[in-house]
Amino acid sequence: MIFIQTKLKSVYIIELEPHYDERGSFSRVWCKRELEQYGINTNVVQCNISSNQKKGTIRGMHYQTEPYYETKLIRCIRGALYDVIIDLREDSKTYGKWIGIELSEENGKALYIPEGFAHGFQTLEEDTYAFYQVTEFYTPDAERGIRWNDPAFNIDWPIKENIIISKKDKSWGDFKL
Q: Is residue 175 part of a domain?
A: no
pLDDT level of residue 57 (50, 70, 90 thresholds): very high
pLDDT in tens, 66-96: 999 999 999 999 999 999 999 999 999 999 9
- CATH code assigned at 80: 2.60.120.10
**The predicted structure's pLDDT at residue 143:** 96
Supply the range of the domain harboring residue 81.
Answer: 2-170
Q: Is residue 118 part of a domain?
A: yes
Q: Is residue 67 part of a domain?
A: yes
Q: Is residue 137 part of a domain?
A: yes
- Whether 12 is catalytic is no
Helix, strand, coil percent values for the chain (each to nearest 5):
5, 40, 50
How many structural domains does the chain have?
1
pLDDT in tens, 34-53: 999 999 999 999 999 999 99
Mean pLDDT score, 13-35: 94
Query: Given 62, 63, 82, 119, which residue is catalytic?
Result: 62
- Percent of the chain with pLDDT strictly greater than 70: 100
Q: Is residue 177 part of a domain?
A: no
Neighbours of 33 (CB within 10 A): 7
Q: Is residue 176 part of a domain?
A: no
Query: Given 68, 95, 129, 132, which residue is catalytic?
Result: 132
Mean pLDDT score, 9-30: 94
Q: Is residue 151 part of a domain?
A: yes
**The predicted structure's pLDDT at residue 177:** 84
Buried b (16+ CB within 10 A) or exposed e, 52-61: beebbbbbbb
Q: Is residue 150 part of a domain?
A: yes
- Percent of the chain with pLDDT strictly greater than 90: 99
Q: DSSP letter at 34?
A: H
**The predicted structure's pLDDT at residue 34:** 95
- Whether 132 is catalytic is yes
